Structure 1
Amino acid sequence: MSARTESLLGFIYEERAAQIAPRLDRLIDRYREHVSSPDGYRAGTPPFTERDAVMIALGDSFVGAGGSPLAQLLRFLDDEAEGVISGVHVLPFSPRSSNDPYAVTDHREVDPELGDWSDIEAIADHFMLMADLVLTHCSPQGAWFQGFLRDEPPYSEYFVTASPADDHVDLDFSNPDVLIEMLDVFLGYIARGVRVVRLDSIAYLWTETGTPCLHHPKAHAIVKLIRAIVDEIAPWVVIIVHPSAPHQENLDYLGAGDDEAHMVYDVSLSPLVTDAFLSADATSLSAWVRELHTPGSTSLFNVLGPCDAIAPAALPDSQRARVFLAAQSVALAIAGVPGVYCQSLVGSEDRERLDLDELSAVLNESGSLGNLVFDGYKALLRARAASDAFSPAAAQRVLSAPSSVFALVRTSPTGGRVLCLVNVTGDEAEVSFTDGELGLGDEKVFRELVTDTFLYPSRDDGNRVSLVIDPYEVLWLAYSSPE
């Protein structure tokens, strides 16, 4: 056990730490020989680049003949998304007691209605796999709580709540047996090939009488403990947290930048983008992105909601696709790692189950909503992957622009720049910038990355670079010098 792990254990359990340390040591040693780095891993390299995008799906989002839902998920990724999607976040896939995937009855198994561990391992062999560790609670129908009701050790002291509500019962992490149990589950996931682990509802992890039981220092310490174990035996694994809290309190789980979570779910982005497009005003979105900062090499996981919130069904399919892709482009352009729901990727309804054969027909039907959204999304993802200015490590700077336009410049560590413009309205918009605002040097031409075409901007009377942006148009303009 590292000195860092030992120190955190002492902070969490105080005088009991000496008795817990040997158990944790044995657990860590047991998994050392069962975890192995993925192909191509190099120590010290960032876990994500501009080439990474993560698709988010339930274990049963895809159905079809000839295999389990998880096998159909892999089939979709292999057949339709390889080369544009690098990772997949499979939402909780354990057995559950209701329609709520977080009402887990057995953390160590795969729901047989979804598939089995061989399906999970097959996905992990082909794509970067993100999985949820449902850390704070479980279902009252599971073996742990049933043992609690029978007053059977060790389960008799596993829970904070004794009467179940909403199909969840809260685990008591002041009992070190619970921590050891969940770390065993966590390391088991890593041994199965999971490379990104989301810690869900982490803000409520530690309950203590006389405190708000929210963002407790010992909740932060347990995230740091998990990070310390990862750094010791599986440094390729990424920890992402979803505290379900206001933005700054979310960012607090990134710690000093190298000692707590690697990433945090950006819960503010989706409502801000929705507001920008529904109000035809990007002012609030621009102000918020302007203040975004994460410590060290940490980053945000940028996720937007489904198509119908921004592009209602009353619009023609071509207009719906254009509006929706313009909104989604924001999550792809700003600093961080983009996550996209599988339904959003193909222009479908939120949480709709997707029959692969029917979906394939829709995606290949020229002019259909699914075809327009999927092809447009792939074009955006390919353009993003082609420029290191979209690296999570690349700087970003929001520009002053009319309220109808969201504008920022991304600058790569090697100096390459991309001007990202999105018109959030149904009207034509015009923007103008000084050379200094854009950081222009000798470059006089822009190469539009999505269409791979050159754009020659005009100059207004004040010698400012002037551009006209069509309704709901997305422009990703790389700086280029004339031949």
Structure 2
Amino acid sequence: MASLSLEDELREKIYHHLNQIYVNNDNYALSEKIIAVFFQGRDLISPNPNLSKWDSSDIILITYAHSIVENEKAPLQTLLKFLDKHIQSYINTVHILPYFPYSSDDGFAVIDFKKINDAFGSWEDIEAIATTYKLMSDLVINHVSSRSQWFDQFKNGKNPGQHYFLSVDPLIDTQKVVRPRTSNVLQEVNTINGKKYVWSTFSHDQPDLNFSNPAVLVEIIDIVRTYLERGTKIFRLDAVAFIWKQINTECINLPQTHEIIRLIRTLTDFYSHEVFLVTETNIPNRENLSYFGNRNEAHLVYNFALPPLILYTLLNGISGKIKQWLMGMPPAIFGTTYFNFIASHDGIGLRPIEEILTEEEIDMLAKNIEGAGGKVSYRTKENSQRPYELNIALFDALKLHVKDGDDGYQEARFISAHTIMLSLEGIPAFYIHSFLATQNDYEKVKHSGKNRGINRHQWQMQELEKILLSENHHSRMFYELLRLIGIRKRQRAFHPNATQFTLGLGNSVLALWRQSLDRTQSIFSIHNISNQRIAIQLSDLNLVETDSWLDLISGTKLERSHGKLMLTPYQSMWITNKSSIM
């Protein structure tokens, strides 16, 4: 039997996806339209799900287009200037948060998906960044701005937008719907055809798109193609878990949602080996992992449980919870991996740890964050309000030990948090305000009226340059993080898919064993997560007798005659038998 051509294989896959999403629809014609829109005569490539698109040198920076600004210069140009001058040797991937015209939510209420916000720069500026760095862009897939052309068409009964949104009977029962916000899910909208009640998962300025209309899917696919042509290599599928609505369900993680992701994955797999998908699903861990699919959905999933668990671990000085979580995390199948982060433009989500920490432990963590000057955002759960998100700059979040308060180890905890992240299976991502150890921005909260503004400071380039040349906590943290990244990038045992085992060395220690894919390098990643000095018996590490062992971080050789390691509060060690072998 003759094998299918690439074209026929692609058609068959797309047709299969569409049949899982839409019933009573001409899915053959729809598949042909999608192929024409997405590929436009482009040669196809053969997908390879086993392909590893990353190694230990992959490090991601998360930033807004205008996180750093200077007079009379487009922020995107200033961003490139900062990247090239300060971190090009350390960071190879840049996630620029939505750089499109928007009406609210700091970019996530997109007015026009195909234009660059004039206040940020131009498509040429985006392409300039994509020339040197892997560009990660947001595909804001669930909703648009209420000021978008599509929503204006909806209100005025004009095509195509009049069919792009979901309006429902206001009396329907929405109690089952999982919400990330406390606002009503339905917003009343005056249209030329009378009052409509429009589904709005996040805010009334962000009406949800109606993916049950195949034309909406085609629009999104056209947007994906546009971003690819402009240099995007990585797509962050924002709020993707919510995109399919079905009355009398929770309206989250529905089968059609997964199938739409599989369709986008199929399209990008046939387009380029360099492109991969990241799903942003801030939900309990088990549900989050489902977005790997069978290596046919996301290449990377956000490790959403990591940020709150890192905080809980370092602020309490106990490692039991994070070790329990790590031992329950399945190794990512080759061709997939984890997106590791401990801070982002959003707050620190608490839903992913609802099955890991008790309500009392979560409440304790929230109280500690408020004590450090942070804020707590809430969601509605079973007619009550539960902490949903911690809003605080990461540097300030690590200020107060639960028992000992301001114990003087804030900077040590901050470095420890990032060293742990750099040690884990997956690709590490640094939010720019963590890189710079930015503190809480209360003026931004006041100006924006949003708790998340606390961690969305805007630096003046000239001021930042002076700070990085001075002696202060910003420069200390920045250059130490760069040093650690420089060490990590060269170690094969830190490949995102390298073997990882969690070791049991006591409640004050978090310890991991990483081994390179070719088994030539081992790294014992040892972290004192307490504010006390501790001792570790060398015999507990089971180091191979015939190898020489070195701590990569301090450069110290281990002498077996010492018998034990002494770790100062929050000290980390990367103990290896081979160094700098990339």
**TM-score, normalised via structure 2 length:** 0.76
TM-superposition CA deviations, 1:215-263 (whole Å, max 9, x none): 1101000000000001111221010001111111111010112x11100
How far does the alpha carbon of each residue in 1:354-389 deviate from its partner, in whole angstroms, 9 at most, with x for none? 1111111111113x1011101110111011111110
Contact 2:513–2:523, Cα closer than 8 Å, also in 1: yes
Counterpart amino acid of 2:32? P
Identify the residue that residue 353 of structure 1 maps to in structure 2: 458
- The reply on whether 1:183 has 2:221 as its aligned counterpart is yes
Q: Does 1:124 align with 2:130?
A: yes
- Counterparts in 2 of 1:235-250, with a 5 A limit? 235-250=273-288
In 1, are the aligned partners of 2:292 and 2:301 still within 8 Å (CA)? yes
**Superposition pairs of residues 131-210 of structure 1, within 5 angstroms:** 131-161=137-167, 162-163=197-198, 165-210=203-248
341-350 vs 262-271, which moves further: 341-350
1:300 aligns with 2:338: yes
State the shift of 1:455 in Å: 2.5
Task: Describe the shift of the 1:433–1:456 C-alpha distance in structure 2 as closer, same or farther (beyond 3 A).
Answer: closer
Q: Partner of 1:105: helix, strand, or coil? A: coil
Question: SS of the residue aligned with 2:106?
Answer: coil
Gaps of 5+ in 1: 37-41, 461-465
Q: Is the 8 A contact 1:321 1:347 kept in 2?
A: no
Structure 2 CA distance for aligned equivalents of residues 420 and 354 of structure 1: 34
Give 1:412's match in structure 2, choosing from 516, 537, 545. Answer: 516
Residue 7 of structure 1 is matched in structure 2 by 16
Is the CA contact (8 Å cut-off) linking 1:244 and 1:267 kept in structure 2? yes
Q: Is contact 2:76-2:125 (8 Å) kept?
A: yes
CA contact (8 A) 2:94 2:135 kept: yes
Could you tell me which of 502, 511, 529 is aligned with 1:424?
529
TM-score, length-scaled by structure 1: 0.91
Q: Given that residues 320 and 369 in structure 1 are in contact (C-alpha distance below 8 angstroms), is that contact kept between their aligned partners in structure 2?
A: no
Aligned counterpart for 1:273 among listed residues 310, 325, 350 = 310
Cα RMSD of the aligned pairs, angstroms, is 2.2
1:290 aligns with 2:341: no
* Residue 260 of structure 1 pairs with residue 297 of structure 2: yes
Question: What's the counterpart of residue 463 of structure 1?
Answer: none
Q: Is the 8 A contact 1:254 1:295 kept in 2?
A: no
Deviation at 1:457, TM superposition (A): 4.1
Instruction: Name the % identity.
Output: 29
Q: In the alignment, which residue of structure 2 is the partner of 1:32?
A: 42
Match among 73, 90, 95 for residue 96 of structure 2: 90
SS in 2 for 1:32: coil
- Give the residue type in structure 2 aligned to 1:77: L
Query: How many Å apart are 1:32 and its aligned residue?
Result: 2.4
Q: Distance in 2 between matches of 1:352 and 1:319?
A: 24
Per the alignment, residue 552 of structure 2 pairs with 449
Q: For residues 428 and 380 of structure 1, what CA distance do their matches in structure 2 show?
A: 22
1:307 positional shift: 1.3
Matching of residues 458-469 of structure 1 within 5 Å: 458=561, 460=563, 466-469=564-567
Contact 1:402–1:431 (8 Å) recurs in 2: no
Q: Which residue of the partner structure matches residue 489 of structure 2?
A: 385
CA contact (8 A) 2:536 2:566 kept: yes
**SS of equivalent residue, structure 1 residue 130:** strand
Query: Which is further off, 303-312 or 124-133?
Result: 303-312
- Structure 2: stretches of 5+ with no match in the other structure: 1-6, 168-196, 344-393, 440-454
The separation in 2 between residues aligned to 1:74 and 1:284, in whole angstroms, is 40
Residue 280 of structure 1 and its aligned partner are, at CA, apart by 0.8
* Contact 2:65–2:99 under 8 Å retained in 1: yes
